[in-house]
Amino acid sequence: MIRMKSIWRVYDTGKVKVEALRNIDLFIQPNEFISIMGPSGSGKSTLMNIIGCLDVPTGGNYALEGKEVSKLHPNQLAEIRNRKMGFVFQNFNLLNYASVYENVELPLIFAGLSFRKRRKRVEEMLDRVGLVERRNHLPSELSGGEMQRIAIARALVNNPSIILADEPTGNLDSVTGKEIINIFEELWSQGNTVVMITHDPEISSRTKRIIKLKDGMIENDEKNHHNHQ
Amino acid sequence: MHLWLFLRQIFRDMRSQKLRTLLTIFGIVWGTTAVILLLAFGQGLYRSQVKAMHGLGEYIVIMWGGKTAKTFQGLPKGRRIGLREEDTELLRSQIKQIAYISPERTRWNAAVSYGKKVFVVQVVGTNPEFALLRSIVADRGGRFINHLDMENKERAIFLGNDLKEDLFGEEEAIGKIVLVDRVPFTIVGVLKEKPQDSSYSGRDENKGFIPYTTCASMYPAKYLNNMVFKAESPHLTEYVKKRVYEVLGKKYKFDPEDDEALSMWDTSEMEAFFNAFFGGFQLFLGILGALTLIVGGIGVSNIMNVVVEERTREIGIKMALGAKKRFVLLQFIFETLVITFIGGGIGFIISYGIIQVFPVFKAEEYVGTPEISVMVAVAVTCLLGLIGLFSGFFPARRAANLNPVEALRP
Ligand SMILES: Nc1ncnc2c1ncn2[C@@H]1O[C@H](COP(=O)(O)OP(=O)(O)OP(=O)(O)O)[C@@H](O)[C@H]1O
Ligand SMILES: [Mg+2]
């Protein structure tokens, strides 16, 4: 589904050039459950942003579902993010003035769905994360775990090809974090593709593939055989 | 689009930044009020001046006899040309484009008396059409000289409102008898007060008007003082003037090209000058006001830049979820327009209030009644829209061009 060939991402800050990604080759099949690990500054977020079409590589080729995306117009990238990517962030990134319902609805508005279709989808998603009855609450009225569940509902609402989570448990206590990972695992078992950045070996041990980055290069990429369930 | 969410967000921002919002909106309120008031007072002044100008008449020509300046068919120059009563009918029958024409004979020092009061005023002999030419309207209960008065050489008199006031005070005048040079005349009407800022022989409010026929027998004279006429429509005035030279030139044997043989005052020339002058004046006021509004717009633009700054993260979130540049652009332009129109709306209300309260100052006589015409309202609304678009565009473009990764950085 994802095919990356010698991807480079160089930040040109004027004086120095930072090579955040160096010659990355990466293939991701449908219905994989992947964690990306590595020290701070190793390029995890940069790689995820490129996978998610939030950022474009400086060099190399990136084909998503067989289509080259590295040279697309920003509007086309926006469309891909809208339809094929579901982002979950460490700090939730919910709109604090919008209700739970409206937050989940947002990607559907950008997709141009009718009010009726939007309502149906939003309710399905809220049901899925178990927060239907909180639909009219503001994010500030929710706990961290609940906020992240709303963010997951929002990521899923447009039926994306891939769910990208950048340290989704980073701001949560370990119990709540586990609940969130449970949701990801369930999504994977239902056929979704999940890519998640984490520092926590306990969390990565539950994924099926672990990619280790170091200095912008893939240091290690292997199936996780210690998986027990 | 998600209008409701937009609006809620805008109002939430406004509430959380009360002072900032107040200052931003104030700039627009101030500018709008300035434009509207300047234009409304300009318009009011224009109206009152036009009315005063029309007190003399609308698009009329006043004509006097003159002195030839060219030789014609062996006749020398320097001959006096005098207008006679019968010329009125000659011109009327020869020139179809004349709508109204009236002879005018002025008795300069007629003694008009009622009881013990005597006033020495002008008494004008004229025909019924004079009222139509010279914007003369009879006050309630009265009338101007009519055709029967003319035919029967009635001793009927129509009084200027000031003269009536002098003679009668508050007392009813219509039907009463006044003496004009010791001859009794019945008052048939009184002039309804009118503004009049120009004249060729004094204000109508101080005169008495009697039928031309009566005047001719009371004060026999060979020549008229002048004539007043009006073409069927303003654009025919030039043609009618030319024809008058031809017709009278033929009768009195002068060169129709001899401008000085007759003397004419064409009030439409005054009208044209006046309109050009006031057009320029309005434009000047409009530009002055627009500049104030533009300054307000610059304030809004600055604030919108700050707002974009503050909402960078939100923009990043929306972009990550698939918002295109266009969406972000429209959101911020829309927000700017909302702020601009709220300010503009308040400005409209304030100006309207000021204009409503204005009569209290009793200054209409000098500056007219200010009014918000449809044109002013439309022009100001368009201007507000333009200013909103302009001041919103640059901050909005900055927002739309944000890099989503940068924008999302905590
Ligand atoms: N906009 C930028 N300009 C310059 N350098 C950048 C920029 N963004 C990232 N970098 C650099 O690129 C490298 C990779 O950054 P990245 O955010 O991908 O690291 P990370 O692995 O996600 O780290 P962390 O675990 O701390 O989130 C870092 O050295 C970082 O300083
Ligand atoms: Mg990171």
Question: How confident is the model over A1-19, as pLDDT tens digits?
Answer: 999 999 999 998 888 999 9
In a domain, A184, yes or no: yes
CB contact under 8 A, B318 and A111: no
**Rounded to an integer, what distance in angstroms lies between the CA atom of residue B188 and that of residue B142?**
6
Mean of pLDDT values over A71-98: 94
**Rounded to an integer, what distance in angstroms lies between the CA atom of residue B348 and that of residue B35?**
10
The pLDDT value recorded for residue B289 is 87
pLDDT (tens digit per residue) in A213-223: 999 999 999 99
Q: Are strands A209-214 and B183-190 parallel, antiparallel or unpaired?
A: unpaired
Q: Which residues of A touch B (CB under 8 A)?
A: 49, 52, 54-55, 74-75, 78-79, 81-83, 87, 89, 91, 93-95, 97-98, 102, 106-107, 109-111, 154, 158
The pLDDT value recorded for residue B17 is 78
A59-64 β-sheet, strand order: A17-28, A2-12, A59-64, A67-68
Q: How does DSSP classify residue B96?
A: T
The pLDDT value recorded for residue B301 is 93
Domain chopping of chain B, boundaries: 2-53+272-408, 67-97+235-258, 99-231
B322–A contact, CB cutoff 8 A = yes
End-to-end CA distance of chain B: 27
Quick one: how far is CA B231 from the chain centroid? 21
DSSP output for B277-306: HHHHHHHHHHHHHHHHHHHHHHHHHHHHHH
DSSP output for B133-184: HTT--BPTT-----HHHHHTT--EEEE-HHHHHHHHTTS--TT-EEEETTEE
**Rounded to an integer, what distance in angstroms lies between the CA atom of residue B213 and that of residue B215?**
5
In a domain, A22, yes or no: no
Any ligand 1 atom below 6 A from CB of A44:
yes
In a domain, A229, yes or no: no
The pLDDT value recorded for residue B410 is 75
Number of domains chain A contains: 1
pTM: 0.77
pLDDT (tens digit per residue) in B76-116: 989 999 999 999 999 999 999 999 999 999 999 999 999 99
In a domain, A166, yes or no: yes
The pLDDT value recorded for residue B119 is 95
In a domain, A211, yes or no: yes
Range A145-166 burial, b when 16+ CB lie within 10 A, else e: bbbbbbbbbbbbbbebbbbbbb
The pLDDT value recorded for residue B258 is 92
In a domain, A204, yes or no: yes
The pLDDT value recorded for residue A34 is 97
In a domain, A13, yes or no: no
Confidence of residue A227 (pLDDT cuts 50, 70, 90): low
Mean of pLDDT values over A167-173: 94
DSSP output for B334-396: HHHHHHHHHHHHHHHHHHHHHHHHGGGG--HHHH------HHHHHHHHHHHHHHHHHHHHHHH
Residue whose token pair is 């980073």: A170
Any ligand 1 atom below 6 A from CB of A20:
yes
Any ligand 1 atom below 6 A from CB of A49:
no
pLDDT (tens digit per residue) in B141-154: 999 999 999 999 99
Q: Which residue of B has its CA nearest to A104?
A: B321
Nearest to A109, CA basis, from B207, B283, B321: B321
The amino acid present at B325, given as its one-letter code, is: K
For chain B, which residues score pLDDT lower than 70?
1-2
Confidence of residue A169 (pLDDT cuts 50, 70, 90): very high
CB contact under 8 A, B321 and A83: no
How much is the mean pLDDT over chain B? Answer: 91
Confidence of residue A229 (pLDDT cuts 50, 70, 90): very low
The pLDDT value recorded for residue A226 is 64
| Sign for the pseudo-dihedral over CA of A68, A71, A73, A78 | positive
Q: Tell me the CATH number at A188.
A: 3.40.50.300
pLDDT (tens digit per residue) in B258-276: 999 999 999 988 888 888 9
Structural domain for A183, as ranges = 31-56+74-223
Provide ipTM, 2 decimals: 0.94
